[in-house]
Amino acid sequence: MPDKPRLAPLDELVLTILSQSTTDENRDRAWRTLAARYPAEDVGGAAGGASPTGPISWESVLRATPAELEDAVRVAGLANQKAPAIHAALQRLRDEVGRITLDHLEEMGDEEAIAYLTTFRGVGVKTAACVLCFSLRRPVLPVDTHVLRIARRLAWVPPRASADLTYTTLSRTVSPSERFRMHMLLITFGRSLCLARAPRCGECPLEPECPRIGV
């Protein structure tokens, strides 16, 4: 299971939104900016729990102007998309749940939780799966850019398969007990050998059997 600190579901959702199309470093820098500008007064209270990069008051974030929120997350890139997505999620939870929390995900099954999360603005299956995997410790296999690229190259899925189709396919073929381990191994493999632009095929232990689709 994940060895990183377990965050509250809402914290994990926002962190994953910030991580879209950027580096882990820039994601964490954006989070630290949010934590510095909108600190939670009561760690573990209404803010949704502690985070390794600082607890955040989501109520304060919700009260921020669009320009202020965009500025706070700008370092993560795509601030004009991520800030509205974060604000929309917070406002929706305030309106529908009565408080800003995603703790009610605990009562949902995996498929129900994925379906629910993907109705939020800017949240796809990958982001939803990350919330389930890292926060709820559910046996799901998030499909990020590395997992998608490798699945295509190894012909586990069609060459133009979407991330959603790849998620569905791997969910059928990888046993629940191995999904998190597979996710982490594929990310490591994608960052070290099966690179996007210049894969190091000559050093790859899978090279003799790899069909090298798209390489």
Choosing from 126, 138, 153, 183, which is the catalytic residue? Answer: 126
For 187, the token pair is 């990310």
Distances (CA, A) of 108 to 32, 47, 91, 112: 30, 21, 21, 6
CA dist 76 and 70 (Å) reads: 10
Length of the chain: 215
Is the Cβ–Cβ distance between 4 and 11 less than 8 Å? no
Is the Cβ–Cβ distance between 135 and 8 less than 8 Å? yes
Quick check: is 126 catalytic? yes
CA dist 63 and 208 (Å) reads: 56
Dihedral pair phi/psi, residue 62, rounded to 5°: -60, -35
Which are the catalytic amino acids? 126
